[in-house]
Amino acid sequence: DCDALCHVVRAFEDPETVHVDGRVDPATDAEVVNIELLLADLAHAERRLEKTTCRGEERAALEAVVAALREGVPARAAGLSTAAQLAIKSMGLLTLKPVLYAFNVDEADFSLGRGAARAAAEAALRSVRHRDPRTDASTIVSAQLEADLAELGSEEQAAYLEALGMDAKECLELGLSHRVLPTMVRQLLGLDLVYTGPGVPRENTETVKAHLVRRGSLTAEGLAGRLHGDILRGFVCAEVAP
């Protein structure tokens, strides 16, 4: 069970890493996976529609999904209302979930040719069929670079990145996948990250907690009430940070 999918797509050339098709084509690779998900969801939805227990809003939603899937359109782009999506949520349709495409580039493209690599990834994404251009997003990552960094100490990591022409501090704090992907997924799902604590600087307490909330669904006071009635009654202030 998940709320979104992250599809890591190969976008680097390496003669020692053989591609099953003998060539590197990120758009085609993404399409192959999209088609597999479409067919899996179609079979799942058609089986459910055969059941007599499938009725009402669930049946109407699934009929719309099946019609879209047969046209090569993912369920998330079938124009379902929020109520319709909730009616079929328990089915776990994979094409109903937004997708983050992470184009895996080599170290040189990630460090020296970052702008061109991003442009190439965006162009590849635009040519991918069977996706939802309204919701799906993309970024670039370098698994090889991160694997190399994982084998180094902190000082060696900084020196390695500087040698590649990168700002070590910015890359380590903001540019690697474990920083970039969670932030993009939150944006994809319309979630905000909220911290609660005892009203003292974070470095002076170990009780600061993080919460994910739907963007625009709660005020700070409303969040306090959801967490605990005592917090709401003793609510003092909220700090908003970009």
Whether the per-residue pLDDT at 25 is higher than 90: the answer is yes
Whether the per-residue pLDDT at 218 is higher than 90: the answer is no
Whether the per-residue pLDDT at 30 is higher than 90: the answer is yes
What would the DSSP string read from start to end of the chain? --S-EEEEEE----TTS--TTSS--HHHHHHHHHHHHHHHHHHHHHHHHTSTT--HHHHHHHHHHHHHHHTT--GGGS---HHHHHHTGGG--GGGS-EEEEEE--HHHHHTSHHHHHHHHHHHHHH-SSS-TTT-EEEEE-HHHHHHHHTS-HHHHHHHHHHTT--HHHIIIIISHHHHHHHHHHHHHTEEEEEE-SSS-GGG-S--EEEEEETTS--HHHHHHHH-HHHHHT--------
Per-residue model confidence (pLDDT) at position 31:
95
Q: What is the pLDDT of residues 143-170, one digit of tens each?
A: 999 999 999 998 999 999 999 888 888 8
Per-residue model confidence (pLDDT) at position 106:
93
Q: What is the pLDDT of residues 72-131, one digit of tens each?
A: 999 999 999 999 999 999 999 999 999 999 999 999 999 888 899 999 999 999 999 899
pLDDT tier at 206, thresholds 50, 70, 90: confident
pLDDT tier at 62, thresholds 50, 70, 90: very high
The structure's pTM equals: 0.85
Per-residue model confidence (pLDDT) at position 114:
87
Per-residue model confidence (pLDDT) at position 61:
97
pLDDT tier at 241, thresholds 50, 70, 90: low
Per-residue model confidence (pLDDT) at position 217:
78
